[in-house]
């Protein structure tokens, strides 16, 4: 009942904030909801105890009891990744399979290393002494672009399809890599008995990553074959729902990456399944159902990111560190994208060409938006000396990323296209 009550309150607030945004602010829907939630959070912090003490305490308790890490990483992420992958054209991804694969693996690792090293050497000048391993924790949790935020923002920013596919393709797959990286590094930081060897880390990556890809393929092809025999839109919707809900439980029990499994399952059903197993009526109902799920959960996600402001102990204390971290993250994003691009000439020998020119690289760098996944990962850290520091810095970086980058990436893409 408590979960139902909490979710009911969030849905009511999300619908109200969505209305206010559409009526007055006229910002992209998800960003508008988040900004209104943040303004309400500031208002509660400044005036709540003086004018509405009982309501303020009750609302604080409500937000604290909502396990953002468990709800996002364990439930919402799977729904949102499946819904996003369902509408991605596989042919577009295949054209850029090598760059997307490199940017979702090598670039994530490279970015985490650059961020951790820069933060480690710059932090003492800001009056902060933080062990390198915790700098590496921050690097791994902030490096992945958030596929949920990227999909939501790019769709509303009306970024051209060919550029959107490049950014979305990377963000869909880098999540699984980053979550495994974070798990490994966090164990290194908090568990002195953890075996930090190449073989143990390689096995964990292979099991989580390749296992997730294979499980998603099994789900996708099996569901497509089953739907082909009935072609009923009601049953088809139920089958896809069972893939997301039951698939998460199977992935958890097998200890493989559920985000990667949902992406692959969504891609297969959205391309192969629609082609061989569905009538136009089923395609229409299935597409609209998952689009609606996507919109509702995105609204709740951005609402909660805004209300996370209530849980931060003292945001003012880390403003300078957060401001510096923004530039560190942007520099690492630029470096981790440009360096692999410079090596794409190697692939021309094998007949593989990259359609990434300088213009689309600019959009790719600026479109690398961080979001709820980074916040969920930092919240999953055990209580300790550096958790609040990393939480506050992460929130500042995510806030800048969503508001500033999210509101300007569409304009940047249009300018780039005009020059091409």
Tell me the per-residue pLDDT of 156-213, one tens digit each, with 9 for 90 and over: 666 666 677 777 888 888 877 788 788 888 888 888 777 777 787 778 788 888 899 9
Report how many domains make up the chain.
Answer: 2
Residue 101: band (very low, low, confident or very high) from pLDDT cuts 50, 70, 90:
confident
Contact of 97 with 355, CB cutoff 8 Å = no
CATH number at residue 411: 1.20.1530.20
**Is the same domain home to 141 and 210?**
yes
Domain boundary among 65, 92, 114: 65
**Is the same domain home to 302 and 154?**
yes
Q: Given a cut of 90, is residue 367 above it in pLDDT?
A: no
Residue 417: band (very low, low, confident or very high) from pLDDT cuts 50, 70, 90:
low
* Mean pLDDT within 275-280: 91
pLDDT in tens, 213-263: 999 999 999 999 999 998 899 999 999 999 999 999 999 999 888 988 999
How far apart, in whole angstroms, are the C-alpha atoms of residue 244 and residue 187? 28
**Is the same domain home to 36 and 84?**
no
**Is the same domain home to 168 and 315?**
yes
Domain boundary among 42, 65, 88: 65
pLDDT in tens, 5-18: 878 888 999 999 99
Report which listed range, 122-131, 142-151, 347-356, is most confident.
Answer: 122-131
pLDDT at residue 371, as a whole number? 87
If one compares 64 and 391, the residue with the highest pLDDT of the two is: 391
Range of the structural domain that residue 59 is part of: 1-65
Contact of 388 with 87, CB cutoff 8 Å = no
If one compares 155 and 327, the residue with the highest pLDDT of the two is: 327
Lowest mean per-residue pLDDT among 93-107, 259-273, 353-367 = 353-367
pLDDT in tens, 146-165: 776 777 677 666 666 667 77
**Is the same domain home to 188 and 59?**
no
pLDDT at residue 347, as a whole number? 56
pLDDT at residue 135, as a whole number? 96
pLDDT at residue 111, as a whole number? 95
How far apart, in whole angstroms, are the C-alpha atoms of residue 299 and residue 36? 12
Residue 349: band (very low, low, confident or very high) from pLDDT cuts 50, 70, 90:
very low
* Mean pLDDT within 311-325: 85
Q: How far is CA 336 from CA 113, 114, 143, 149, in A?
A: 10, 8, 10, 20
**Is the same domain home to 72 and 61?**
no
**Is the same domain home to 31 and 100?**
no
Lowest mean per-residue pLDDT among 131-145, 231-245, 347-361, 366-380 = 347-361
**Is the same domain home to 11 and 85?**
no
pTM: 0.90
Domain boundary among 26, 41, 65: 65
**Is the same domain home to 95 and 113?**
yes
**Is the same domain home to 352 and 225?**
yes
**Is the same domain home to 341 and 367?**
yes
**Is the same domain home to 52 and 141?**
no
Lowest mean per-residue pLDDT among 111-115, 116-120, 293-297, 358-362 = 358-362
């Amino acid at each position: 009942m408590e979960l139902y009550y909490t979710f009911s309150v969030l849905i009511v607030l999300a619908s109200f904030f969505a209305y206010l945004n559409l009526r007055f602010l006229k910002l992209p829907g998800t960003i508008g909801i988040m900004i209104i939630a943040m303004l309400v959070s500031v208002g509660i912090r400044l005036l709540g105890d003086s004018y509405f003490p009982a309501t303020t305490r009750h609302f604080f308790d409500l937000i604290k009891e909502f396990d953002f890490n468990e709800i996002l990483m364990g439930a919402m992420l799977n729904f949102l990744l499946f819904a996003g992958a369902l509408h991605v054209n596989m042919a577009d991804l295949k054209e850029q399979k090598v760059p997307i694969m490199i940017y979702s693996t090598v670039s994530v690792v490279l970015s985490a290393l650059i961020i951790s090293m820069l933060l480690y050497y710059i932090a003492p000048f800001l009056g902060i002494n933080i062990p390198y391993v915790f700098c590496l924790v921050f690097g791994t949790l902030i490096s992945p672009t958030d596929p949920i935020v990227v999909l939501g923002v790019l769709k509303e920013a009306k970024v051209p399809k060919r550029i959107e596919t490049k950014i979305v393709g990377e963000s869909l797959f880098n999540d699984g890599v980053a979550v495994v990286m974070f798990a490994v590094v966090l164990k290194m930081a908090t568990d002195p008995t953890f075996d930090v060897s190449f073989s143990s880390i390689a096995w964990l990556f292979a099991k989580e990553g390749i296992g997730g890809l294979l499980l998603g393929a099994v789900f996708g092809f099996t569901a497509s074959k089953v739907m082909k025999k009935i072609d009923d839109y009601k049953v088809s919707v139920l089958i896809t729902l069972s893939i997301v809900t039951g698939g998460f439980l199977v992935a958890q029990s097998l200890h493989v990456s559920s985000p990667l499994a949902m992406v692959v399952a969504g891609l297969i059903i959205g391309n192969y399944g629609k082609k061989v197993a569905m009538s136009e009526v089923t395609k229409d109902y299935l597409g609209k159902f998952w689009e609606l799920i996507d919109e509702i959960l995105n609204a709740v996600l951005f609402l909660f990111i805004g209300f996370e402001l209530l849980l931060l102990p003292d945001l003012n204390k880390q403003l300078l560190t957060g401001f510096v971290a923004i530039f560190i993250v942007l520099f690492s994003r630029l470096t981790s994208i440009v360096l692999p691009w410079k090596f794409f000439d190697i692939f021309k020998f094998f007949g593989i060409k990259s359609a990434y020119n300088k213009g689309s690289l600019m959009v790719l760098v600026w479109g690398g938006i961080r979001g709820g996944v980074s916040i969920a990962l930092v919240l999953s850290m055990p209580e300790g000396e550096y958790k609040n520091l990393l939480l506050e810095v992460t929130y500042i970086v995510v806030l800048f990323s969503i508001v500033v980058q999210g509101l300007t990436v569409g304009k940047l893409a249009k300018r780039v296209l005009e020059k091409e």
